[in-house]
């Protein structure tokens, strides 16, 4: 398939993903917004949010190798199940998470195209200015990718990534302390929803097994093992929000977002180790066909995520089985 | 593929479908039986051979046999939960039968079809509006009848099966009877001359008995409703979650009052929402057209062309319901059930034309840009409701009506 045909197919796929976002909005959009700019603005910002993710997907799909194109579509479907519905709860609709995620898409786009990468610093500062929760929930993606790039590049530009990583982290930490630092955790809401979280983790065992197999192969066979460890452990920064702020849904979403986006970005950047592991995973799922497709389908039964009880499915499960 | 390897693969697929059914159950279960379905349990044949009396008769017989009193909402809920579980069991027995009988190269295609059906059926019949709906009994009976046709055993049982199904709800003749009739026609066209007589007899007897029962229930069974309506209302109030009863159900089925005027508002809403729903469903409609159009196109003989034409048009029996009644979501479920059960059955009977077309369409689907979204997108439109299609279409219809159309007044 030539580049032009691939772009047309990608655009068709993104059109249907946009339809998925539209239907999610019709189904889940709340009647009010707790954001300070009002309901109408929240709707417009949601549209911008969807477009930001679709454009990011488009960029990644354009840059990725042809053999990985279909695999990435499935990855983006999995991610979009949560991305498009997560911000449609009453608490999140029109809230700071939406703006922060739009800015995150901007950061990832400049990183992907390797143009004006210095914009990552002000965009990160802006995100942190909106809410310091960004540091723990979504602020790990860009630094991990910058560090990954530093360790995997061998040309003269690699030092630039070390500088970008250092400055990004410094700006984030500065903004965190500027906005009160650890006083953010002064009002603690300790996590207590162990049963629901446990049930959710149990339901996602197939994904945990896939992730375990993926990272085991990545760490064992990578040229630079430290990159594998950075990618594997980079997703745990949201745990303080889970434990100390009882934001179970946000934490789960942040973890899904981290791994899906970093793997997508690394595939687009042509990282050979990640490509190798994704091919292996694809082969395993094909061997298990059609059950492999079933595994891809059922996450949608767990949307939308929320902080109160993770999601409706798990809540119903616990109420019926362990009341 | 050796027999035991195939059996292992089939069992793995069924286990995966069962797990997904479990998640779908937890996602859509409302732990509630609606007024309509509890009121129906108050109907009984002790008042005469009344319309839709079978399920209430069974319920009240079970109540008489068991040591506990089921004449309460909790009893109605327990009975409904058991019935729904039995429906799911029958559905899975059918799905397994189809997988085991089909050629091994069709297992993947069949699995996707079964996933499609399981998601729609489970979500619909565990949600509030349809939990305990008599459609589960009708579908279960059609599936049992279909299995008998596939096995070519005890096919004469189709006659009492059809009769029982009409006794659950006379709408069966339009909704789910077509599956059995068309499969009988298909068998008639497929078997050798000496066996055609058997299928012709079963077809004619089933058709006549079901039609006679339909005419009785629809036009003659509501003559003495005033004599026992109070007792039915009193029992219906005991069985409901809020001490009320479904008044339009009793007005129509016991007292014979015509509801046409009352329902026109809902018709208007459906006339707006349903075409939009079909637009959203274009990928699935495309798949259906490619498959069933392909069967007729690939038919080699004139007899085969007639055979597949009957298969394609068999779903048209639902058209009168679309014109006269408002439960568009249930009619859609009826169409989905017809085509899915038809396709699974024909694959189980290893029809070569069906297999070849299915294989080629599956390759076409895999190449489509929307293929990764096929099931994920569908789930947003679940569960199917009864009158309104689903929550998505109801939200869109409500928005359009409030802001522009002002065609209906209910919400």
More confident residue, B11 or A37: B11
CB contact under 8 A, A27 and B19: no
With a cut of 70, say whether residue B282 has pLDDT above it. yes
Q: Is the pLDDT of residue B411 over 90?
A: no
Cα–Cα distance measured from residue A262 to residue A266, given in angstroms and rounded to the nearest whole number: 6
Contacts of A23 in chain B (CB under 8 A): 280, 377, 380-381, 392
Mean pLDDT, residues B265-272 taken together = 93
Interface test mutation site (partner A, options B12, B372, B382, max chain A beta carbons within 10 A): B372
Beta-ladder partners of A306: A310
User: Whole-prediction pTM value?
Assistant: 0.95
Mean pLDDT, all residues of chain A: 92
Residue A197 CA to chain centroid, in angstroms? 19
B260-to-B133, B218, B263 alpha-carbon distances in Å: 22, 15, 5
Q: Please give the Cα distance from B395 to A26 (Å, whole number).
A: 7
Cβ-Cβ contacts under 8 Å, A77 against chain B = 372-373, 376
**pLDDT, tens digit (0-9, with 9 covering 90-100), for A218-263:** 999 988 889 999 999 999 999 888 888 888 899 999 999 999 999 9
What residues pair up with A310 in beta bridges, in sequence order? A306
Mean pLDDT (whole number) for B252-272: 87
Rg (CA), chain B: 22
In angstroms, how far is CA B6 from the centroid of its own chain? 29
pLDDT tens digit sequence for A102-125 = 999 999 999 999 989 999 999 999
Within 10 angstroms of residue A179's Cβ, the number of other Cβ atoms is 15
Instruction: Please give the C-alpha separations between residue B104 and each of A31, B4, B5, B351, in angstroms, as whole numbers.
Output: 50, 12, 10, 13
B236: closest CA of chain A, how far (Å): 27
Question: Which residue range forms the structural domain that includes residue A53?
Answer: 3-321
H or E, element range at A214? helix A205-221
Residues of B in contact with A314 (CB under 8 A): 26
Q: What percent of chain A has pLDDT over 70?
A: 100
Q: Which of A10, A77, A294 sits opposite B16 (nearest CB)?
A: A294
What average pLDDT does this structure show over A272-298?
Answer: 90
pLDDT at position A307: 85
Q: Is B396 on the interface with A (CB under 8 A)?
A: yes
Residue A306 phi, psi (nearest 5): -150, 165
pLDDT at position B375: 95
User: Rounded to the nearest 10 degrees, how much is the dihedral formed by the CA atoms of B181, B185, B191, B193?
Assistant: 120
- Break chain B into its structural domains and give their ranges: 259-411
Q: Which residues of A touch B (CB under 8 A)?
A: 9-10, 12-13, 15-17, 19-20, 23-24, 26-27, 70, 73-74, 77, 81, 203, 289-291, 293-294, 296-298, 300-302, 312-314, 316-317, 320
Phi, psi of A310 (to 5 degrees): 65, -65
Please give the C-alpha separations between residue B136 and each of A276, B24, B35, B221, B305, in angstroms, as whole numbers: 48, 17, 17, 23, 33
For residue A275, the surrounding DSSP H or E stretch is helix A272-287
| B123-136 mean pLDDT | 96
Average pLDDT in the B324-333 region? 96
From chain A, the residues in CB contact with B273 under 8 A are none
What would the two tokens of residue A241 be? 């929000």
- In this predicted model, what pLDDT tens digit does every residue of B139-182 receive, in sequence order? 999 999 999 999 999 999 999 999 999 999 999 999 999 999 99
SS3 for chain B is CCHHHHHHHHHHHHHHHHHHHHHHHHHHCCCCCCHHHHHHCCCCHHHCCCCCCHHHHHHHHHHHHCCCCCCCHHHHHHHHHHHHHHHHHHHHHHHHHHHHHCCHHHHHHHHHHHHHHHHHHHHHHHCCCCCCCCHHHHHHHHHHHHHHHHHCCCHHHHHHHHHHHHHHCCCHHHHCHHHHHHHHHHHHHHCCHHHHHHHHHHHHHHHHHHHHHHHHHHHHCCCCHHHHHHHHHHHHHHHCCCCCCCHHHHHHHCCCCCCHHHHHHHHHHHHHHHHHHHHHCHHHHHHHHHHHHHHHHHCCCHHHHHHHHHHHHHHHHHHHHHHHCCCHHHHHHHHHHHHHHHHHHHHHCCCHHHHHHHHHHHHHHHHCCCHHHHHHHHHCCCCCCCCCCCHHHHHHHHHHHHHHHCCCCCC
Residues in Cβ contact with A109 at an 8 Å cutoff, skipping those fewer than 6 apart: A55, A56, A59
pLDDT of residue A99: 96
Predicted local distance difference test score (pLDDT) of residue A104? 97
Residue among B23, B108, B115 whose CB faces A301 most closely:
B23
**Interface membership of B373 toward A (CB under 8 Å):** yes
Question: Under an 8 A CB cutoff, do B13 and A77 touch?
Answer: no
Interface membership of B5 toward A (CB under 8 Å):
no
Question: Looking at the 3D structure of chain A, how many domains does it have?
Answer: 1
Whether A24 sits inside 8 A of B380 (CB atoms) is yes
pLDDT for res A244: 84
- Judging contacts by C-beta atoms under 8 Å, the chain A residues touching residue B383 are none
pLDDT at B99 over 90: yes
State the Cα–Cα distance between residues A105 and A118, nearest whole angstrom: 15
Looking at the complex, report in whole angstroms how far the Cα of residue B270 sits from the nearest Cα belonging to chain A: 18
Would the pLDDT of B354 be above 80? Answer: yes
Which one is predicted more confidently, A180 or B294?
A: B294
Minimum distance, in Å, between the CA of residue A166 and any CA atom of chain B: 39
Q: Is the pLDDT of residue A182 over 90?
A: no
Highest mean predicted confidence (pLDDT) among A32-36, A60-64, A306-310, B250-254? A60-64
Q: Among B118, B195, B184, B99, which Cα is nearest to B148's?
A: B184
Any chain A CB within 8 A of the CB of B102?
no
Do A27 and B392 form a contact (C-beta atoms < 8 A)? yes
User: Are the beta carbons of A296 and B380 separated by less than 8 Å?
Assistant: no
pLDDT in tens, B226-259: 888 999 999 999 999 999 999 999 998 998 887 7
B65 part of contact set with chain A, CB < 8 Å: no
Measure the CA–CA gap between B226 and B72, rounded to whole angstroms.
Answer: 24
- Given a cut of 90, whether residue A181 has pLDDT beyond it is no
Q: Are B51 and B222 in contact (CB under 8 A)?
A: yes
Confirm or reject contact between B17 and chain A (CB < 8 A): yes
Are the CB atoms for A231 and A144 separated by under 8 Å? yes
Q: What's the rounded Cα separation, in Å, for the pair A88 and A305?
A: 9
Peptide bond into B284 cis (omega under 30): no
Contact B312, B292 (CB under 8 A): yes
pLDDT of residue A153: 86
DSSP code for A323: -
A23–B392 C-beta distance less than 8 A: yes
The pLDDT value given to residue B378? 96
Give residue A289's pLDDT.
85
- Residue B64 in contact with partner chain A when CB distance is under 8 A: no
- For residue A200, the chain B residue with the least C-alpha distance is B23
Per-residue pLDDT at B1 exceeds 60: no
Percent of chain B at pLDDT exceeding 70: 99
Nearest-CA distance B2 → chain A (Å): 17
CB contact under 8 A, A291 and B376: no
* Whether the predicted pLDDT of A1 surpasses 70: no
Average pLDDT of chain B to the nearest whole number: 95
Give the number of other CB atoms < 10 A from CB of residue B153: 10
Q: Is the pLDDT of residue A127 over 90?
A: yes
φ and ψ of A139, to 5 deg? -75, 0
């Amino acid at each position: 398939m030539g580049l032009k045909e691939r772009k047309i197919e990608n655009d068709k796929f993104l059109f249907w993903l946009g339809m998925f976002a539209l239907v999610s909005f019709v189904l889940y959009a709340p009647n009010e917004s707790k954001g300070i700019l009002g309901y109408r603005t929240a709707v417009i910002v949601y549209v911008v949010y969807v477009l930001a993710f679709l454009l990011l997907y488009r960029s990644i799909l354009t840059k990725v190798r042809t053999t990985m194109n279909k695999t990435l579509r499935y990855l983006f479907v999995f991610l979009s199940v949560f991305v498009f519905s997560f911000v449609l709860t009453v608490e999140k609709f029109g809230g700071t998470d939406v703006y922060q995620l739009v800015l995150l898409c901007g950061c990832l786009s400049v990183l992907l195209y390797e143009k004006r990468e210095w914009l990552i610093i002000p965009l990160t500062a802006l995100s942190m200015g909106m809410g310091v929760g960004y540091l723990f929930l979504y602020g790990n993606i860009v630094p991990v990718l910058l560090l990954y790039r530093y360790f995997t590049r061998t040309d003269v530009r690699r030092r630039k990534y070390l500088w970008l990583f250092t400055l990004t982290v410094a700006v984030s930490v500065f903004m965190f302390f500027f906005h009160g630092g650890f006083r953010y955790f002064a009002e603690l809401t300790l996590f207590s929803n162990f049963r629901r979280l446990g049930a959710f983790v149990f339901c996602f065992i197939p994904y945990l097994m896939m992730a375990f197999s993926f990272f085991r192969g990545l760490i064992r066979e990578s040229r630079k093992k430290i990159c594998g460890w950075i990618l594997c452990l980079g997703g745990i920064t949201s745990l303080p929000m889970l434990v100390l702020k009882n934001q179970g849904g946000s934490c789960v979403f942040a973890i899904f977002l981290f791994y899906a986006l970093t793997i997508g970005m690394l595939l687009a950047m042509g990282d050979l180790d990640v490509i190798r592991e994704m091919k292996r995973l694809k082969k395993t799922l094909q061997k298990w066909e059609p059950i492999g497709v079933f595994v891809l389908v059922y996450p949608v039964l767990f949307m939308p995520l929320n902080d109160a009880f993770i999601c409706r499915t798990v809540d119903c499960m616990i109420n019926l089985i362990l009341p | 593929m050796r027999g035991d390897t195939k059996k292992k693969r089939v069992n793995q697929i069924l286990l995966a479908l069962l797990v997904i059914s479990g998640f779908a159950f937890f996602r859509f279960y409302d732990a509630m039986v609606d007024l309509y379905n509890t009121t129906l349990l108050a109907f009984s044949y002790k008042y005469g051979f009344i319309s839709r009396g079978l399920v209430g008769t069974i319920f009240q017989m079970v109540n008489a046999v068991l040591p506990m009193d089921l004449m309460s909402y909790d009893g109605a809920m327990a009975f409904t939960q058991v019935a729904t579980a039995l429906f799911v069991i029958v559905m899975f027995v059918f799905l397994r039968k189809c997988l085991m009988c089909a050629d091994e190269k069709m297992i993947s295609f069949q699995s996707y079809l079964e996933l499609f059906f399981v998601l729609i059926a489970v979500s619909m019949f565990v949600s509030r509006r349809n939990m305990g709906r008599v459609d589960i009994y009708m579908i279960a009976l059609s599936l049992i009848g279909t299995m008998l046709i596939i096995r070519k055993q005890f096919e004469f049982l189709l006659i009492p099966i059809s009769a029982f199904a009409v006794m659950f709800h006379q709408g069966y003749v339009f909704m789910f009877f077509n599956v059995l009739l068309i499969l009988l026609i298909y068998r008639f066209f497929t078997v050798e001359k000496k066996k055609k007589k058997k299928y012709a007899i079963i077809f004619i007897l089933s058709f006549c008995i079901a039609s006679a029962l339909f005419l009785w229930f629809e036009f003659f069974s509501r003559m003495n409703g005033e004599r026992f309506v109070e007792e039915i209302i009193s029992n219906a109030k005991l069985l409901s979650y809020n001490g009320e009863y479904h008044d339009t159900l009793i007005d129509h089925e016991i007292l014979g009052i015509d509801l046409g005027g009352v329902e026109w508002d809902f018709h208007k809403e459906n006339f707006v929402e349903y075409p939009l729903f079909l637009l959203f469903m274009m990928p699935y409609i495309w798949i259906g057209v490619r498959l069933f159009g392909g069967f007729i196109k690939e038919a080699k003989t004139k007899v085969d062309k007639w055979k597949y034409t009957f298969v394609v048009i068999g779903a048209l029996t639902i058209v009168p319901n679309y014109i006269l009644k408002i439960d568009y979501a249930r009619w859609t479920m009826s169409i989905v059930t017809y085509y899915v059960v038809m396709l699974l059955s024909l694959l189980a009977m290893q029809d070569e034309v069906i297999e070849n077309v299915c294989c080629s369409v599956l390759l076409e689907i895999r190449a489509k840009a929307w293929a990764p979204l096929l099931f994920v997108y569908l789930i947003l439109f679940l569960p199917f409701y009864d009158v309104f299609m689903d929550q998505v279409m109801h939200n869109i219809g409500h928005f359009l009506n409030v802001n522009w159309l002002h065609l209906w007044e209910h919400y």
